[in-house]
C-alpha cells in the first residue's frame, strides 16, 4: 500500500511538472514576474481553435514545459473569453492580431519584447523561447535592424509582419517593396516567394503580386489554382480599400479590373470602381460615358435603396442638362408607393437635386413642400432637403447645342 501511494504521488508530480503553469489573471502574472525577475510569456489563443488545441500537446511535453516554467511566468489570453483587462492590455501594447495562436513575451513592466506565430514543432517552440530570452533576436529590435540597413529576407519578412500587427500599414508596404527588391528574382516561382506574397503584400503594385498575377499556373506545384486566385484576390481587395490609397487613373482602374476578372474575385468589377470612375469621367468632361457606366450599375441593382443611391451619386455629380433629364427618366421608373419611409425620402431628395440643377424654381418649390410634409410626417431629418432650399448656390448646368 505504501509503495502504491508513493508511486501514485510520483506519477501525479510528474504530470504536474509536464504542464506550463498559467497564472489566473494578467495582474497576478506580472506581479509574480516582478518578484521572480522573469519575463512574462502569454499564450494568445482561442479554446475552440483546433491548432490551439494541438499546441497544448506540444507545450505539455515535460522538457518544453519545464523550460518555460523555469524561464517565464505564464498567462493565457483566450479570445473566446474576451476579458476587458486582456483587451486593454493588448491595445496599450499596440498589438492587433487577426488570428490565433501566437506566443507573446513581455518584460516585468509590461513592455512588449517578442512574439511569434506557431509551428507545431518542439524545436520551433524551444527556439521561440530562446529568441525571447536573447535581446538581439527579439521582435522589438527589428526596427533598429531595419534602420541600420539590414535588408535580409528574414529580417524584412519578420519586420513586415510585425508592422501589420501594429497597424503601421504605410511602412509595412514600404518593407514589402524592400522584400521584393532584395529577393532573388530567379526564385520568384517558388513556394517561398508565394508565402511572402501571401503574408506580406497588400498592394497590387508590389513586384511579388505582379509576378504571380501573370504566372498563376506556376503555383500549381504547391497549391491549387483556386487557392492561388483566392490569395491574390485578397491582395486586390486590400489594395482597393487601402485607407491611404491615392486616386487611381482610369488606366490603373482598368488594369485592376482585369486582375479582378483573372482571379475571379468578381464577375462585375465595375461594382468596385463605378463611383470613383464616374467622378474622373465627369472631371474629364466625358459625362456621356459616366452615365453609360451609371446605367449599367442602375440596371444591375435589384434593391430600391441601391438604385436610389446610384441616382443620388449621379444627380449630385452631373453638370449637363441632358444628363439631369436622363436621371429624371430613370427616377420615374422606380416604384415607391409601397417603399419604406427612408427610401421614399431618398426619392424626394434626388428629385429635388435634379429640379434644383435644372433651375425650375416653381417645380422645385412644389416638390420641396411635398417632401417636407412627408419627412415631418415620418419623423425624418429634413436637413438635407432644407440645405437645398436655403442654398444660394445655383447649379450651372451645361446645355449642349
The mean pLDDT value for 370-376 works out to 96
Domain parsing of the chain, residue ranges: 2-137, 143-263, 272-390
Per-residue pLDDT at 283 exceeds 70:
yes
DSSP state of 338: T
Determine the pLDDT at residue 391. 73
Architecture of domain 2-137: 3-Layer(aba) Sandwich (3.40)
Per-residue pLDDT at 211 exceeds 70:
yes
For residues 238-249, b (16+ Cβ closer than 10 Å) or e, as one string? ebbeeeeeeebe
- Kindly indicate the confidence band of residue 16, based on its pLDDT and cuts at 50, 70 and 90: very low
Per-residue pLDDT at 184 exceeds 70:
yes
* Nearest CA among 185, 166, 19, 199 for reference residue 93: 166
- pTM recorded for the entire structure: 0.87
Which residue's C-alpha cell is 444660394?
A: 392
64-82 residue pLDDT tens: 999 999 999 999 999 999 8
- Kindly indicate the confidence band of residue 18, based on its pLDDT and cuts at 50, 70 and 90: low
Per-residue pLDDT at 397 exceeds 90:
no
Asked if residues 364 and 375 have their Cβ atoms less than 8 Å apart, the reply is no
Per-residue pLDDT at 300 exceeds 50:
yes
Determine the pLDDT at residue 15. 45
Per-residue pLDDT at 17 exceeds 80:
no
Per-residue pLDDT at 5 exceeds 70:
no
Q: Provide the β-strand partners of residue 44.
A: 77, 102
The mean pLDDT value for 282-309 works out to 96
Fold classification of 272-390 (topology level): 1.25.40
SS3 291: helix
CA angle at residue 168 from 164 to 171, to 5 degrees?
100
Amino acid at each position: 500500500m505504501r509503495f502504491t501511494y508513493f508511486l501514485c504521488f510520483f506519477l501525479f508530480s510528474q504530470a504536474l511538472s509536464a504542464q506550463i503553469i498559467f497564472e489566473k489573471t494578467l495582474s497576478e502574472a506580472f506581479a509574480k514576474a516582478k518578484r521572480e525577475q522573469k519575463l512574462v510569456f502569454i499564450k494568445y489563443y482561442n479554446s475552440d481553435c483546433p491548432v490551439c488545441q494541438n499546441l497544448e500537446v506540444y507545450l505539455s511535453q515535460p522538457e518544453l514545459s519545464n523550460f518555460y516554467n523555469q524561464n517565464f511566468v505564464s498567462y493565457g489570453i483566450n479570445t473566446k473569453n474576451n476579458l476587458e483587462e486582456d483587451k486593454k492590455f493588448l491595445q496599450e501594447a499596440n498589438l492587433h492580431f487577426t488570428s490565433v495562436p501566437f506566443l507573446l513575451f513581455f518584460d516585468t513592466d509590461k513592455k512588449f519584447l517578442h512574439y511569434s506565430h506557431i509551428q507545431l514543432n518542439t524545436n520551433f517552440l524551444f527556439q521561440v523561447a530562446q529568441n525571447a530570452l536573447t535581446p538581439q533576436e527579439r521582435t522589438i529590435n527589428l526596427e533598429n535592424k531595419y534602420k541600420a540597413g539590414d535588408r535580409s529576407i528574414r529580417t524584412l519578412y519578420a519586420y513586415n509582419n510585425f508592422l501589420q500587427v501594429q497597424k503601421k500599414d504605410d511602412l509595412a508596404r514600404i518593407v514589402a517593396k524592400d522584400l521584393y527588391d532584395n529577393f532573388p528574382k530567379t526564385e520568384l516561382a517558388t513556394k517561398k516567394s508565394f508565402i511572402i506574397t501571401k503574408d506580406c503584400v497588400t498592394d497590387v503594385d508590389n513586384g511579388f503580386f505582379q509576378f504571380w498575377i501573370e504566372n498563376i499556373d506556376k503555383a500549381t506545384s504547391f497549391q491549387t489554382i483556386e487557392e492561388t486566385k483566392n490569395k491574390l484576390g485578397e491582395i486586390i481587395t486590400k489594395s482597393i480599400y487601402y485607407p491611404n490609397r491615392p486616386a487611381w487613373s482610369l488606366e490603373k482602374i482598368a488594369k485592376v479590373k482585369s486582375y479582378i476578372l483573372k482571379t475571379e474575385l468578381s464577375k462585375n468589377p465595375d461594382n468596385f470602381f463605378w463611383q470613383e470612375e464616374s467622378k474622373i469621367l465627369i472631371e474629364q468632361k466625358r459625362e456621356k460615358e459616366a452615365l453609360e457606366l451609371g446605367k449599367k450599375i442602375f440596371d444591375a441593382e435589384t434593391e430600391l435603396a441601391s438604385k436610389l443611391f446610384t441616382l443620388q451619386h449621379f444627380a449630385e455629380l452631373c453638370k449637363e442638362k441632358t444628363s439631369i433629364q436622363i436621371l429624371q427618366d430613370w427616377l420615374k421608373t422606380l416604384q415607391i408607393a409601397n417603399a419604406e419611409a427612408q427610401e421614399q425620402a431618398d426619392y424626394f431628395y434626388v428629385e429635388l437635386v435634379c429640379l434644383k440643377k435644372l433651375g425650375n424654381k416653381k417645380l422645385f418649390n412644389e416638390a420641396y413642400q411635398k417632401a417636407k410634409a412627408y419627412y415631418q410626417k415620418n419623423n425624418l431629418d429634413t436637413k438635407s432637403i432644407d440645405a437645398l432650399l436655403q442654398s444660394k448656390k445655383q447649379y450651372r448646368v451645361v446645355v449642349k447645342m
